[in-house]
Chain A
Amino acid sequence: MKIAVIVPAYNEEKSIAAVVEDILHVAHSRNLLVTVVVVNDCSKDATSEIISKLNCVALDLPINLGIGGAVQTGFKFAFENGFDLAIQVDGDGQHPASEIPKLISAAEAQDIDVVIGSRFISKIGFQSSAVRRIGINYFKWLNRFMVGVKIFDSTSGFRLINNKALAIVSEYYPDEYPEPESIILYSLKHLKIGEVPVNMKERQGGVSSIGRLSSIYYMFKVSLAIIYTFIRIKFKK
């Protein structure tokens, strides 16, 4: 089984090398056939030079596309090159590589198309800030209301998708704040979504893609995007 681990990176010169090496180390010790794909979203620091020296596929975007566009570049690479699974891991060290095998075994054992690594099922490790948790609860409610799936951690960027889902997201993937919106997309396309408890760390370097002031915009934008996605797919048939 060919596995692509996609790491979107924007100004992650401090942490990216350790993240990639961790993943390769875990893959080696578990005998997994893993290709690390780092997508450099036009970083202003030395990320590009660092990743070109690492044992990974380095995708260098010529302009800054934001998290969604960067991750989608990795998905397109995985889809075009016939990977069976793609796992998204943040470049800032929040998602420990040691948790990757959990996602893979969940996908294999339960025949799930999309596996989300969740902080909140077993409530271990870094639990995120209070404000962010309010937002996450809101999305949990919205997801359940719109498509009837219960996802505890819909803003988690630590997730695995199989080639069925890869075909969908290489066609369309949201640009900004793609995590909650893509869950709606997956479930409307009748993919099976599962969640496994993982342990997350506080970020090692870099800043969140969501600033404090923009969190209201985030909630509003994502709600709108979720409703639009819902309408687009439901009424297109």
Chain B
Amino acid sequence: MARIQIIAIAISVLFLLYIVRLIVKGKLREEYSIVWIVCTIVLVLFSLWRRGLDVVSTLLGVYSPPNLIFTAAIFAIFIYLLHLSVVVSKLQSQNKQLAQEIALMKEKMVQ
């Protein structure tokens, strides 16, 4: 096993442990952790299976394997950012509803 392989596996596993720790401590909700766990598992997989990247690249017809990494990673990041924008929009609209409820209830209590 090459040195870089060991480093990659170690970092991926540490990352996975950190995500688990965040969930256990209640700092990360399970539904948002799924994407991170899947990403880390993919990282571990390709660290163990060295020829994997070449095999997948040939399969998809990508000439230079690193290009596949960049394309896939950027695409995944875009999708996840969009997902976060959706989450923020939902939070904002719920926040507005709560504030309005509070204002209406405060007024009722004063009377």
Q: How far is the CA of A131 from the CA of B96 in the complex (A)?
A: 31
A77–B105 Cα gap in the complex (Å)?
10
**CB of B91 to closest CB in A, whole Å:** 13
Q: Please, which residues of chain A bring their CB within 8 A of the CB of B110?
A: 58
Alpha-carbon distance A80/B102, docked complex (angstroms): 14
Instruction: Report yes or no: A77 in contact with B107, Cβ–Cβ below 8 A.
Output: yes
Chain B, interface SS category: helix
Complex CA distance for A60 and B99, rounded to whole angstroms: 9
A39–B96 CB distance below 8 A: no
Question: Number of contacting residues on B, CB 8 A?
Answer: 10
CB of A17 closer than 8 Å to a CB of B: no
CB of A69 closer than 8 Å to a CB of B: yes
Taking a contact as CB atoms under 8 Å apart, the answer to whether B103 and A59 are in contact is yes
**B96 proximity list for chain A (CB < 8 A):** 65, 69, 175
User: Which of A57-84 touch B at CB < 8 Å?
Assistant: 57-63, 65, 69, 72-73, 76-77, 80
B residues lining the A interface (CB < 8 Å)? 95-96, 99-100, 102-104, 106-107, 110
Task: Report 22 cross-chain contacts, Cβ distance below 8 Å, ordered by A residue.
Answer: A57-B107, A58-B107, A58-B110, A59-B104, A59-B107, A60-B106, A60-B107, A61-B100, A61-B102, A62-B99, A62-B103, A63-B95, A69-B99, A69-B100, A73-B99, A73-B100, A73-B103, A73-B104, A76-B100, A76-B104, A80-B104, A175-B96
